[in-house]
Amino acid sequence: MTLALPMLLGAVFVGFLVPRALRAVSSTLSPTVLLAAWLGSMASALYLALSAVLVLVWPSHAPVEGLVDGIARCFSAFAHGTSSWVGELITGTAVGVVGLIAVRIVLAGRKQAREHARVREFHRDVLSIVARRDNSESDVLWLDHPLPMAYSVAGKPGFVVATQGLSSALTGGERDAVLAHERAHLSGGHHRIVGACEVLAAVLPGVPLFAAAPAAVGAIVELSADRHAARVTSPAAVRSALAVVSKSPLPQPDWSLGDRGGATAVRLRSLVDGDVASPRRLTCAVAACVPAAITTAVAAAVTVAVSAGICAVLT
Ligand SMILES: [Zn+2]
C-alpha cells in the first residue's frame, strides 16, 4: 500500500491541479506542445490510478515494495499495524471504482463511435447528391453556396466540405490556407482526440482535468491547424482567410475555420506573435511527461512527510 498511496495521490493531483497550471502557461507554449501536455497529463492520471490498483491487488505488493518500504518504513509499520480489513476495504474500493470507470469509458466510447459513424454516413449520403468533386482536389466536396464556409469530416478516408463562396470570397492563397487548415484536422486525428476527451469528460465530469479537456483541447487543435496552414501557405494568408470566414453568417459546424466561442481574436494573435515552426518531438515528449512527473513527485513527498509525522507520533 505504501507504493499505491502516492500513485493514487499523484493521480488526484494531476486531475485537479494540472488544468490550472496548463492554463497559466498556455499563452507561452506552442499549440502542439500544449496539446502534448494535456494528453500526457490525462494519460498519466489514468495510468497512475490503474497502476495503483494493480499494486494493491498484486501478491506481496509488487517487486519495488521493498524500496518504497525503505523510504516510508514508518508509514508501512503503521499500516501493517492496523486491522487487515482496512487495507482490504481500500483495495476493494479502489478496484471497484477503477473497474466501474473503465466499463463506463468503454460503453461511452462505443456509443460515441456509433453516433459519429451515423453522422458521417448522413454527410456522405447527402453530399453525394448535392456536392460535386473537383478532379484536382479529390478530398474536397464543393457545395454551390455563395457564402464562404469549410469544415472537415473524419473517416476512412476523411474529407473536406467547402462552399463555392470560399473560392469567390477569398484569394487563391487564402482558399488554400482554409483547405490546409481542414486537412490538418484530418491528418492530425483531431476529431478522434477531441472525441476521446469528450468521452472522458462524460465519464469523469468531477475531475477538472477531464471536464476542461474538450474545450481546452478543442481550442488548441484549432491553433495547431492554423499553424500547419501557415506553414503550408503563410501566416498572412491564414490571418486574412480567418478574418473573412469568421464574419460569414452561416452556422459554423465543428472543425470549420469560423469564430466559434469568440476564439478568432486568440487565433489571429497567435499567428502574429507566435513562431509557426513545428516544435521538436523531444520537446513534445517532455511536455507530455513533466506535469504528471512534478505532481507525482509532490505526491510522493507528501506521503513521506505524512509517514514522518506518523513516525513522530508513534515514537
Ligand atoms: Zn478548424
What's the whole-number average pLDDT of the chain?
83
Is residue 155 in some structural domain? no
Q: How far is the CA of 69 from the centre of ligand 1 (A)?
A: 50
Range of the domain at 63: 1-82+289-315
- Tell me the CA–centroid distance for residue 256 and ligand 1, in Å: 5
Q: Is residue 37 a part of any domain in this protein?
A: yes
The residues near 138 (Cβ < 8 Å, ≥ 6 apart) are none
Q: Which segment of 43-47, 180-184, 231-235, 256-260 scores lowest on mean pLDDT?
A: 256-260
Is 101 contained in some domain? no
How many CB atoms within 10 Å of residue 165? 20
Residue 128 phi/psi, 5-degree rounding, is -65, -20
Is position 309 within any domain? Answer: yes
The answer to whether residue 52 sits within a structural domain is yes
Rounded to the nearest 10 degrees, the angle between the axes of helix 84-130 and helix 31-57 is: 140
What separation in Å is there between the alpha carbon of 263 and the centre of ligand 1? 11
- Quick one: average pLDDT of 53-81? 59
Query: Ligand 1 centroid vs 222 CA: distance in angstroms?
Result: 5
Q: Which residues surround ligand 1, an ion (CB under 5 A)?
A: 222, 225, 255
Determine the Cα–Cα distance for residues 14 and 35; give it in Å rounded to an integer: 15
- Report the percent of the chain where pLDDT is more than 70: 85
Rg (the chain; Cα; Å): 24
User: 211-268, pLDDT tens digit by residue?
Assistant: 999 999 999 999 999 999 999 999 999 999 988 888 777 776 655 555 555 578 788 8
Q: Which of the listed ranges 38-47, 56-65, 273-282 does the model predict with the highest average pLDDT? A: 38-47
At 244 the pLDDT is 87
**pLDDT, tens digit, 9 for 90 and up, residues 74-120:** 555 555 555 567 777 777 887 888 888 888 999 989 998 888 888 88
Q: What share of the chain is helix, strand, coil (3-state, %, to 5)?
A: 75, 5, 20
Q: What is the pLDDT of residue 187?
A: 93
d(CA 248, CA 145): 12
Is the residue at 169 inside a domain? no
For ligand 1, the distance from its centroid to the CA atom of residue 182, given in whole angstroms, is 6
Q: Can you tell me the distance from the alpha carbon of 310 to that of 292, in angstroms, rounded to the nearest whole number? A: 27
Q: Structurally, how many domains does the chain consist of?
A: 1
| Ligand 1 centroid to residue 144 C-alpha, Å | 21
In a domain, residue 90? The reply is no
Distance in Å, CA 22 to ligand 1 centroid: 21
Q: Is 90 exceeded by the pLDDT of residue 38?
A: yes
Look at residue 159 and tell me if it is in a domain: no
Better-predicted residue by pLDDT, 67 or 201: 201
∠ CA 185-187-191, rounded to 5°:
45
